[in-house]
Amino acid sequence: MSRAVPVRARAAGGFSGILRRDAIRRAVAVLLLTGLGASLVSGTGPLAEALLALFGLDQAWVGSWLARLLLALPLAVALVLNSLFLARLPRRLQIGIVWGELLLLFAAFFLSFELDFGFLWARLPILVGIGATTTLYVSSISIAVASLIALVAALGRLSGNPTAFGLATFYTSFFRGTPLLLQVYIIYLGLPQLGLTLAPVPSGVIALSLCYGAYMAEIFRAGIESIPRGQWEAGEALGLTRRLILRKIVLPQAIRVVIPPIGNQFIAMLKDSSLVSILGVWELMFLARTQGRAEFRHFEMLIAAALIYWFLSFVFELAQARIERHFGRSDRR
Amino acid sequence: MKVWLVAIAATVAVAATQPALAGPVLDRVKQRGVLRVATDPAYPPQSMQKPDGSFEGFDIDVASEIANRLGVRVEFVTPAWEIITSGRWGDRWDISVGSMTPTRERAEVLDFPAIYYYTPAAFAVHESCPYQNLEELDGKVIGTCGACTYEFYLRHDLKIDAEGVPPFTYRVTPGEIRTYETDTNVFDDLRLGCGTRLDAGISALPTIREAIKAGYPMRIVGDPVFYEPLAVAIDKGDPEFAAEIARIVEALREEGTLSKLSLKWYGVDLTRVP
């Protein structure tokens, strides 16, 4: 933190001035955090009782403002000391420690539920082996199909043909304008009325693809439109057809722009695929719920599912970073 | 382009006029050698999923017995409850042995060839709650599954259109009704404390007992308020299949198999009119 002190302050107050200023800032931070903490904690529980006893106070104070303050003050001091300690470390280490601390807090939160790890452990094979696998393949197929639909719909929106434009805008408007859950129901329950009875997984894949295709169409359109007109004109000057210009000049440059938002969509899809659980597909969320209900142990399964989803998303983040680097080669020198 | 559109319109029109049902279910079952049963595995002890993915419970055992008598294998599929109760199953599955109450509305989209047991409905409260009898629950916040018989009971609007329904009276008038996706969600809010989110909940007595056995801090208040008949459901349009299922369930009842399964899962015989 002391590194952040502006040069002018050094000149004005000298070294002792810096110390004084920093001390004041830290004291203010401790005060604010204490106030915030005191308004959040309940001032009850074994920790509060222990602290009251330490100061020789009656247990009648449990739950009072004093107990809240006693709990909040050490927390605030710890937080400020923590930030002081962090500031002395190199950047990468700081990031790592912040992640580690947040993970520890998370773990403490989860452990407070008194989880039955034997129960969790016995069900991990089915959660990963069937649940996560199904989630992964349903969302992978859906994102691939959605990308194709999105490309066609984006070209339709950019096309001069009124029918194509009408089809594309109607499609994006409807599928962006209605809930995915409703689309899943309509496709699964509605299509059989036309004589087309689809199995749960194809129904789910169709619903996810159509819905995400509509969102991604806009991403593709933005990507294509972000390529300057000069590129098209240069292609025409070379005597290329519009189709060839699109394929060889515009799309390769547009892909680079759309990768981060597409990656976003993929991660969102990974989690929205849980909606197909209503069709009885044994994806991660379905199994987490039914397995948990068998013995009324929901938290174990929900936390396990959360961690698995998170892990999958994390792997995709890494993959996305690699793909971005690959397509971003032209920008590096 | 126009010819193409006309062709699509014609295809849709032809497809729409064809009946959605694939044909007699009984033939299909015998031919395939498989009875496909829709089950909701989130409903212990009727149906629950084991860690290896297979199922167990009272409904599961009854369904397996029915398949046995038909001389075919049993297979379970797990669509959401609303999808089972919305009917028009087509070729997706053949039967539901899922503790379904044969209400009038449901009878419009499904056939109920046989009632196989009667489940008592009861009120539960957090164990720290002072309430000792049902009258004290008047005006309280009560949780229930949405659009199920328990909600209709709380709203004093329960119509069970089946033979042999034991008579009942509305004994509780809630101050507020909170609906949930399923009964087990009610227990999760009830366990938080007396009045934290709910003052009481209503559910099937066996399911409440199962939750208490699993360590939920709950207590049953008063006697069961009504008994609802629970039936096997099939899609409309196959009277032979309906007759065959009715015959099999009757046989299971007469030879005591149903009672035996009820004792195994509930500890009491719920298969006869109380």
> CB–CB of A69/A39 below 8 Å?
no
Instruction: Find residues 192-221 of chain A whose CB sits inside 8 Å of chain B.
Output: 192-197, 199-200
Q: What is the 3-state secondary structure (H, E, C) of chain B?
A: CHHHHHHHHHHHHHHHHCCCCCCCHHHHHHHHCEEEEECCCEECCCEEECCCCCEECHHHHHHHHHHHHHCCEEEEECCCHHHHHCCCCCCCCCEEEEEECCEHHHHCCEEEEEEEEEEEEEEEEECCCCCCCHHHHCCCEEEEECCCHHHHHHCCCCCECCCCCCCCCCCCCCCEEEEECCHHHHHHHHCCCCCCCCCEEEEEHHHHHHHHHCCCCEEEEEEEEEEEEEEEEEECCCHHHHHHHHHHHHHHHHCCHHHHHHHHHHCCCCCCCC
Give, in words, the CATH class of B119-228. Answer: alpha beta
Query: Which tokens hold the place of A248?
Result: 């060889």
pLDDT tens-digit profile of A29-55?
888 888 888 888 777 777 778 888 888
pLDDT at B116 over 70: yes
Determine the residue of chain B that is closest to A122 in CA distance. Answer: B51
- C-alpha to C-alpha distance for B199 and A50, rounded to whole angstroms: 33
Comparing CB atoms, the residue among A122, A199, A289 nearest residue B42 is A289
Question: What confidence category does residue A299 fall into, taking pLDDT thresholds of 50, 70 and 90?
Answer: confident
**Contact A123/B at CB under 8 A:** yes
Cβ of A294 and B44 within 8 Å?
Answer: yes
Average pLDDT, chain A: 88
Cβ of A280 and B77 within 8 Å?
Answer: yes
Question: A66-70, A115-119, B163-167 — which is least confidently predicted?
Answer: B163-167
Closest CA to A313 of A272, A266, A274: A266
Query: What pLDDT shows up at residue A48?
Result: 79
Find the radius of gyration of the CA atoms of chain B: 21
**Contact B48/A at CB under 8 A:** yes
Q: Does an H or E element contain A113, and which?
A: none
Cβ of B48 and A294 within 8 Å?
Answer: yes
Query: Which tokens hold the place of A191?
Result: 């299509």
Task: Express as a percent the part of chain B with pLDDT over 70.
Answer: 91
Q: What angle do CA A130, A134, A135 make, to 5 degrees?
A: 120
**Contact B79/A at CB under 8 A:** yes
Query: What pLDDT shows up at residue A226?
Result: 94
B/e letters for B3-12, b = 16+ CB within 10 Å, e = fewer, are eeeeeeeeee
Q: Which amino acid is at B218?
A: M
Query: What pLDDT shows up at residue A330?
Result: 72
Cβ of A296 and B184 within 8 Å?
Answer: yes
The domain made up of B20-117+229-266 has a fold known as D-Maltodextrin-Binding Protein; domain 2 (3.40.190)
Helices B58-70 and B257-266 cross at an angle (nearest 10°) of 160
Question: What confidence category does residue A333 fall into, taking pLDDT thresholds of 50, 70 and 90?
Answer: low
Would the CATH topology of B20-117+229-266 be identical to that of B119-228?
Answer: yes
- C-alpha to C-alpha distance for B126 and A103, rounded to whole angstroms: 34
Closest CA to B97 of B87, B88, B83, B84: B84
- Domain edges within chain A: 2-111, 117-331
Q: Report the gap between the CA of A180 and the closest CA in chain B (Å).
A: 16
Query: What pLDDT shows up at residue B13?
Result: 46
Question: What confidence category does residue A70 fall into, taking pLDDT thresholds of 50, 70 and 90?
Answer: confident
Domain A117-331 CATH assignment equals 1.10.3720.10: yes
Comparing CB atoms, the residue among B42, B52, B82 nearest residue A126 is B52
B/e letters for A61-93, b = 16+ CB within 10 Å, e = fewer, are bbeeebbbbbbbbebbeeebeeeeeeeeeeeee
- Domain edges within chain B: 20-117+229-266, 119-228
Determine the residue of chain A that is closest to B92 in CA distance. Answer: A199
Q: Does an H or E element contain A202, and which?
A: helix A200-225
Q: In B, which residues are within 8 Å of A296 by CB distance? A: 44, 184, 187, 210-211, 214-216
Phi, psi of A63 (to 5 degrees): 85, -5
What ipTM describes this predicted complex? Answer: 0.75
Q: Would you tell me how many other CB atoms lie within 10 Å of the CB of residue B228?
A: 28
pLDDT at B12 over 50: no
